[in-house]
């Protein structure tokens, strides 16, 4: 078997290829000044996504936030102040811009002719999050007016009822009633108070998870990965995406490599596939944002483990446990071996990344990456995957 060395691979380039392949949903964020738009965005995507000063004004009152390695594009509308002339301008601005958006975006794409833009969907607003602050204790005619206008354009729209820590239950109910009576939209209660007591008291009312589920469900399948990878936290959703969408992408790639029986020595062909899969998993958990050179660490571990473990598991007859793996094993890597070995590797890397992400993002721990990404952990988890596969 060819001995791959970490130097044979450009991990950052691979990570770049993965990033290029991810389509990004365009999300429009609406609401009055101080409604809590920025707070919602920061809560859902983390503070890096729409950093002050990083936006590009696209038209009067609308700022675009886009970063190469982040899977969503946000359009933040400058809020209107109740009682100023900005109120009437707001609706007109948003409406005009939404109308022109498609045209402008397709012009731009024609001029730029970006090689990797194969998405017919890129020139659309994919959904609207309309923020209404519960702190104002009322839903204004203006809000209703703009929501109806956007509804007529058939844009999926959710009302984010923000700052609910500022109202009592009755006031909240009255506002929800007002929304229900005036427009047909789904709404979700949120608050970003950093007071733990407040948040735990509100726990039964808060609907962040529901908002995120709504947002995912209303995106085209092809745009969900970008959205989910851009989320802060939400590790369970990320894990689901990895198991159901990302790992299968690579296991079928691996099966393709082995479609015609290939000599055992060519099992190394699986290494590049597994590296790319591992970096893809790591990126989905947002770990690539955390430490610049983590991709080379993960890549290197996969390079060294993949070959070793394949040889080892073959000799340990582990594969005999997998249905469909023929007796030719030992001389050829057939499709079942190639894909199950890759699936096992994907499972192991996903578990390890999940543990790291939990420690770093949810528990705020400083961790030693080597304690997580090492041959022992990968080997143990892969064996676990094979045991489950055998039983299943």
Under rule CB under 6 A, how many of the chain's residues touch ligand GTP?
Answer: 16
CB atoms inside a 10 Å sphere around CB 32:
23
Contacts 24+ apart (CB under 8 A), 287-291: 287/353, 287/356, 287/357, 287/360, 288/15, 288/69, 289/48, 289/69, 290/360, 291/369
Nearest to 41 by CA among 18, 10, 64, 68: 64
Does position 38 interact with ligand GTP (CB under 6 A)? The reply is yes
Q: Give the rounded distance of the alpha carbon of 271 from its chain centre.
A: 25
Indicate the residue among 39 and 274 with the shorter CB distance to Mg ion. 39
**Could you say which of 25, 71, 79, 156 contacts ligand GTP (CB under 6 A)?**
79
* Residue 115 DSSP class: T
Binding mask 140-169 for ligand GTP (x = CB under 6 A): ----------------------xx-xx---
- Helix ranges restricted to H, the chain: 11-20, 37-45, 86-112, 141-152, 169-182, 196-202, 208-217, 221-230, 235-241, 247-257, 270-284, 294-315, 335-357, 369-372, 375-391
Q: Interface with ligand GTP by CB under 6 A: which range of 113-121, 170-178, 190-198, 253-261?
A: 190-198
* Residue 80 DSSP class: P
Indicate the residue among 40 and 381 with the shorter CB distance to ligand GTP. 40
Does position 34 interact with ligand GTP (CB under 6 A)? The reply is yes
**Could you say which of 39, 136, 304, 339 contacts ligand GTP (CB under 6 A)?**
39
Does position 30 interact with ligand GTP (CB under 6 A)? The reply is no
The nearest distance, CB 69 to Mg ion, in angstroms, is: 22
**Could you say which of 193, 243, 300, 358 contacts ligand GTP (CB under 6 A)?**
193
CB atoms inside a 10 Å sphere around CB 207:
18
Does position 192 interact with ligand GTP (CB under 6 A)? The reply is yes
Nearest to 385 by CA among 282, 283, 313: 313
The nearest distance, CB 281 to ligand GTP, in angstroms, is: 32
Q: Which does 69 bind (CB under 5 to 8 A by kind): Mg ion, ligand GTP, none?
A: none
Indicate the residue among 202 and 367 with the shorter CB distance to ligand GTP. 202
CB atoms inside a 10 Å sphere around CB 321:
15
Under rule CB under 5 A, how many of the chain's residues touch Mg ion?
Answer: 2
Report the b/e string of 117-131 with b at 16+ CB within 10 A. Answer: eeeeebbbbbbbbbb
Does position 37 interact with ligand GTP (CB under 6 A)? The reply is yes
Q: Interface with ligand GTP by CB under 6 A: which range of 36-44, 91-99, 111-119, 249-257?
A: 36-44
Q: Which does 36 bind (CB under 5 to 8 A by kind): ligand GTP, Mg ion, none?
A: ligand GTP
Helix (H, G, I), strand (E, B) or coil at 263: strand
Q: Interface with ligand GTP by CB under 6 A: which range of 13-21, 26-34, 208-216, 272-280?
A: 26-34
Q: What is the dihedral of CA 209, 215, 216, 217, to 10 degrees?
A: 100
Helix (H, G, I), strand (E, B) or coil at 333: strand
Does position 127 interact with ligand GTP (CB under 6 A)? The reply is no
The nearest distance, CB 65 to ligand GTP, in angstroms, is: 12
Q: Which residue is nearest to ligand GTP (CB)?
A: 79
Cα–Cα distance for residue pair 55/63, rounded to 1 Å: 6
Residues 26-45 that bind Mg ion (CB under 5 A): 37-38
Which residues contact ligand GTP by CB under 6 A? 31, 33-39, 79, 162-163, 165-166, 191-193
Which residues contact Mg ion by CB under 5 A? 37-38
């Amino acid at each position: 078997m060819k001995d791959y060395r970490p130097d044979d691979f450009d991990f950052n380039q691979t990570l770049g290829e993965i990033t290029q392949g991810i389509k990004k949903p365009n999300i429009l964020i609406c609401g009055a000044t101080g409604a809590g738009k920025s707070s919602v965005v920061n809560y859902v995507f983390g503070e890096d996504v729409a950093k002050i000063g990083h936006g590009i004004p696209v038209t009067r009152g609308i700022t675009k936030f886009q970063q190469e390695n982040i899977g969503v594009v946000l359009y933040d509308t400058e809020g209107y102040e109740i009682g100023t002339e900005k109120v009437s301008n707001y609706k007109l601005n948003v409406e005009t811009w939404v109308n022109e958006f498609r045209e402008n975006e397709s012009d731009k794409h024609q001029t730029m002719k970006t090689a990797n833009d194969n998405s017919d969907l890129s020139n659309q607003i994919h959904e609207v999050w309309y923020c209404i602050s519960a702190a104002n204790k009322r839903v204004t005619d203006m809000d209703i007016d703009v929501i109806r206008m956007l509804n007529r354009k058939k844009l999926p729209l959710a009302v984010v009822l923000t700052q609910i820590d500022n109202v009592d239950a009755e006031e909240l109910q009255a506002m929800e009633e007002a929304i229900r009576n005036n427009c047909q939209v789904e709404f979700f209660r949120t608050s970003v108070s950093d007071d733990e007591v407040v948040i735990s008291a509100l726990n039964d009312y808060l609907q962040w998870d529901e908002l995120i589920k709504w947002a995912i469900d209303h995106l085209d399948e092809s745009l969900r990965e970008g959205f989910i990878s851009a989320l802060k936290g939400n590790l369970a959703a990320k894990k689901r995406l990895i198991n159901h969408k990302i790992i299968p992408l690579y296991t079928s790639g691996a099966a393709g490599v082995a479609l015609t029986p290939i000599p055992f020595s060519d099992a190394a062909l699986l290494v590049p596939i597994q590296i790319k899969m591992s970096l893809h998993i790591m990126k989905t958990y947002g770990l690539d944002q955390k430490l610049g050179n983590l991709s080379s660490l993960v890549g290197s571990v996969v390079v060294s483990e993949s070959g070793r473990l394949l040889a080892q598991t073959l000799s340990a007859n582990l594969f005999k446990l997998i249905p469909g793996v023929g007796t030719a094993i030992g001389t050829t890597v057939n499709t079942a071996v190639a894909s199950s070995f890759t699936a096992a590797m994907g499972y192991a890397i996903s578990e390890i990344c999940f543990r790291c992400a939990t420690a770093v993002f949810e528990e705020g721990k400083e961790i030693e990456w080597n304690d997580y990404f090492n041959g022992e952990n990968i080997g143990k988890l892969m064996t676990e995957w094979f045991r489950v596969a055998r039983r299943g």
